[in-house]
Structure 1
Amino acid sequence: MKKISYILLTSLFITVASCSKGKEGAAPIEKPGKPETNNNFTSADATTAYTAFNKYFYNSSAKLYYNTTRQDGLAAIWTQAIYWDMAMNVYERTKDPAQLTRVNDIYQGGFNQYDGYNWDNTTTWFIYDDMMWWVIALARANQITGKPEYLQKAISGFNRVWNGSYDSVNGGMFWDFKHSGKNACINYPTVIAAMRLYKITGDASYLDKAKSIYGWAKANLFDTTNGRIADHKIGNNPPGYEDYTYNQGTAIGAAVMLYKETKDVAYLNDAKLAADYTKNKMSTNSILPAEGDFNEQGVLKAIFAQYIMQLINDGGQSQYLDWVQTNINTGWKNRDTERNLTFRNYNIHCPTGDIQSYEASSLVTFMQLCPPK
């Protein structure tokens, strides 16, 4: 991911490659709004929200997304993969042939912008997790479209990351090319990518890798007493705990996918514990945290949305559905009603000025995945 933060651990100066994001420009003024009084979002609202997101953020020439409503630059490389996942969610919800065209267009946009998915280009790709978000999306796009080139790119990308990132001595995946730390944002997505490739290819080595990385992550990044996910582990230092919804989400997704394949209830229990921590400790009055102070963190809940819904659907845990719907209803009521854009902070009215695609994306993603009440 694009931004890097630095922290001091004990008396040692250690550069920590953190997946969290720093400031990116001036944030819009956030004002509490007077939400509408209508009760629940509808399927039509989900379509309206996605249409608005594309109106203000999709670059039909580049076939990728802008970073802000100013439309003066493309969004960060890794977030484009998250928006591609959103497009696939819409197609799976609507089965609209035009939306399938958009799914294929975004692949081409990434191909054109990112050197044909040349994973060895260390100018285009400068962090392992940036690649892995795309590998996840490429594998899913193959499942949806059947296009073999999508699978080929996913396999070659996974191999590139595995060969460069995996610690064959101590286990786990390094976040950056310098191997400065092992972060949640590469380890859990690696499990998800491996499980998708296993489902497509039947190659048991992917399942073995998924189990191996999940085991390392559980031992080093997962607080088994409460389900909190650490952001990173640096050498022999204690885990660095910072609460981010996407780390909670990918841990949930990795566990659910392993549970669905192995039927080992320990994985499902891990997923529920991580979901409970997000709901009970990270949320305020049931509303998810407003991540992303005009930076790329605004997209984190879009990732969480993907995997909490897998827990609900594939893991059979419907007890989380009302919580998710409450978040969607709150955020949708507080949308910018002129533009139908939504905001990262679901509790306040969406700013009417310039906003980022990152911070506008998560509620739209939730709406494509979650059924209305």
Structure 2
Amino acid sequence: MKLLQKLTALLIVFLVHKHVAVAQLNQSLGTKSLQSPENHKNTAAREAFEVWYWEYDLENRKGFWDQAEMMEVVLDAYEVTKDRAYLKRFDRLYQNFIAVHREDWMYNEFNDDIAWAVLFCVRAYKFTGNKVYLQKAKDQFDKMYARAYTPSYGGGLIWNESKTSKNACINGPAMVACCYLAQSTGDNSYYNKAIDLYKWSKTYLFNPETGKVNDAINLDKATQTIKVFPWSSTYNQGTYMGAAVMLYKHTKDPEYLENARKIAHYTKDTMYKGQVINNEDNGDDLPGFKGIFARYARSYIAETKDKLMAEWMLLNAKTAYENRNSSGLIHTRWGTKTPEARPESAFGCSTAVSLLMNTSSL
């Protein structure tokens, strides 16, 4: 089966680079005509997805949060294309995730890991109506929230059960998860949790005047004062932007949408000076960050029709795609050519797939 999968990926690349008709490529993939109006814009995204998905054997990986976020990319592909083949793949990924990490994930002391996994569950329910996904999302979120929320520093969620810091990387995805859970269950107490976390974040983690999202806060033991860690990253900018859009849609309070606009433009103008995102390439985690940003940029642009933001995201997508290697893989440094040797990080290569999928409808 693995050999067949690799051969399929190689065939796709061969067809693309030999300029065979798109209809033939479509037939080999077993999808609707890529020339049809709903698909012609995402041909490049589908090509990149196929090569990435099979090259890194996504259905047999063992990771937790990185795998969770790559599973969200599969859901992005469905949300953009409406091709239910992606949902079948997602279910296989879900079954593998449960086989590796068991039914109860509370053994994992990283609360942000739980939040990321909850997101793929609750989004899968949204797209399929399968209550198994919703039950898992609700059960695991409720358990995580109960242990992660503490009154220290005035509220917010702890990043890790062995630590005392409260980080954007848990509070951001938790807010988004709350909004999805409220939508899916009809229980508005989840919206109330999201609103409380958002309000708390404005004290320490999020500057609503500039749109900057700080990384974390912790107690400085020497001074017994709260220390803010000011580093900003694409994934935290993304989740806070996404949460603001979702809370605007729920409350109709324009402040949320204005906050989302500031987050988007802080990322574009201050962090990247309007240029292509070409960093966050070190270690195991950073390479996957910017794909998360791309997901929430799509929701922001869909809500606001922000032309400048759309143009910037399309610039990133065009540049990343042009920098693919001869196999069709695109590494996480979107502004530089992908080496011919297969990039080590599947998570890093997922970012361009997310980018191409999430910009294909712009």
Q: Into which bin does the TM-score normalised by the smaller protein fall?
A: 0.7 to 0.9
Q: Is the 8 A contact 1:255 1:268 kept in 2?
A: yes
Q: Is the 8 A contact 1:297 1:358 kept in 2?
A: no
Amino acid at match of 1:107: Y
**How big is each residue's C-alpha offset from its partner over 1:43-102, in whole Å with a ceiling of 9 and x where there is no partner?**
21111000110121124xxx244xxxxxxxx4x310111111111111222222322210
Q: Are residue 131 (structure 1) and residue 130 (structure 2) matched? A: no
Give the aligned partner of residue 31 of structure 2. Answer: none
Amino acid at match of 1:300: F
2:293 to 304, 325, 332: 304
Q: Is the 8 A contact 1:165 1:179 kept in 2?
A: no
1:263 to 247, 252, 266: 252
Amino acid at match of 1:171: G
Q: Is the 8 A contact 2:80 2:361 kept in 1?
A: no
- The DSSP-based 3-state class of the residue aligned with 1:260 is helix
Q: Is the 8 A contact 1:260 1:315 kept in 2?
A: no
Alignment of 1:28-39 (within 5 A): none
2:229 to 240, 252, 255: 240
Give the aligned partner of residue 215 of structure 1. Answer: 199
**CA separation in 2, counterparts of 1:352 and 1:324?**
25
Q: Is the 8 A contact 1:294 1:359 kept in 2?
A: no
Of 359-368 and 192-201, deviating more is 359-368
**CA separation in 2, counterparts of 1:299 and 1:320?**
21
Closer, same or farther: CA 319–239 of 1 in aligned 2, 3 Å: same
Q: Are residue 195 (structure 1) and residue 179 (structure 2) matched? A: yes
Q: Cα RMSD (Å) of the superposition? A: 1.8
Q: Is the 8 A contact 1:78 1:134 kept in 2?
A: yes
Q: Are residue 173 (structure 1) and residue 162 (structure 2) matched? A: no
Amino acid at match of 1:220: Y
1:220 shift after superposition: 1.1
Give the aligned partner of residue 146 of structure 2. Answer: 163
**CA separation in 2, counterparts of 1:232 and 1:186?**
10
Q: Is the 8 A contact 1:255 1:267 kept in 2?
A: yes
Q: Structure 2: which 5+ residue stretches go unaligned?
A: 1-16, 18-39, 220-224
Give the aligned partner of residue 47 of structure 1. Answer: 46
Give the aligned partner of residue 210 of structure 2. Answer: 226
- The DSSP-based 3-state class of the residue aligned with 1:239 is strand
Amino acid at match of 2:91: N
Q: Are residue 140 (structure 1) and residue 123 (structure 2) matched? A: yes
Q: Is the 8 A contact 1:335 1:341 kept in 2?
A: yes
Give the aligned partner of residue 190 of structure 2. Answer: 206
Give the aligned partner of residue 343 of structure 1. Answer: 331
**CA separation in 2, counterparts of 1:316 and 1:256?**
13
**CA separation in 2, counterparts of 1:162 and 1:174?**
9
1:193 shift after superposition: 0.4
1:188 shift after superposition: 1.1
Give the aligned partner of residue 23 of structure 1. Answer: none
**CA separation in 1, counterparts of 2:305 and 2:89?**
31
Q: How many residues align?
A: 317
1:96 to 75, 83, 92: 83
**CA separation in 2, counterparts of 1:156 and 1:185?**
20
Q: Are residue 286 (structure 1) and residue 242 (structure 2) matched? A: no
Give the aligned partner of residue 56 of structure 1. Answer: 55
Q: Greater helix percent: which structure? A: 2
**How big is each residue's C-alpha offset from its partner over 1:173-223, in whole Å with a ceiling of 9 and x where there is no partner?**
000102410000001111100000000111011011010001111111112
TM-score, normalised by the number of residues in structure 2: 0.84
User: Percent same amino acid among aligned pairs?
Assistant: 31
Q: Are residue 251 (structure 1) and residue 240 (structure 2) matched? A: yes
Q: Is the 8 A contact 1:325 1:372 kept in 2?
A: no
- The DSSP-based 3-state class of the residue aligned with 1:342 is coil
Amino acid at match of 1:217: S
Closer, same or farther: CA 372–143 of 1 in aligned 2, 3 Å: closer
**How big is each residue's C-alpha offset from its partner over 1:243-298, in whole Å with a ceiling of 9 and x where there is no partner?**
21001001101111101111101111111111111001111452124112253211
Which fold has the larger relative contact order, with Cα–Cα distance below 8 Å and residues 6 or more apart in sequence?
1
Q: Is the 8 A contact 2:323 2:330 kept in 1?
A: yes
Of 103-112 and 277-286, deviating more is 277-286
**CA separation in 1, counterparts of 2:361 and 2:158?**
39
Give the aligned partner of residue 18 of structure 1. Answer: none
**CA separation in 2, counterparts of 1:372 and 1:263?**
25
Closer, same or farther: CA 334–289 of 1 in aligned 2, 3 Å: closer
- The DSSP-based 3-state class of the residue aligned with 1:234 is strand
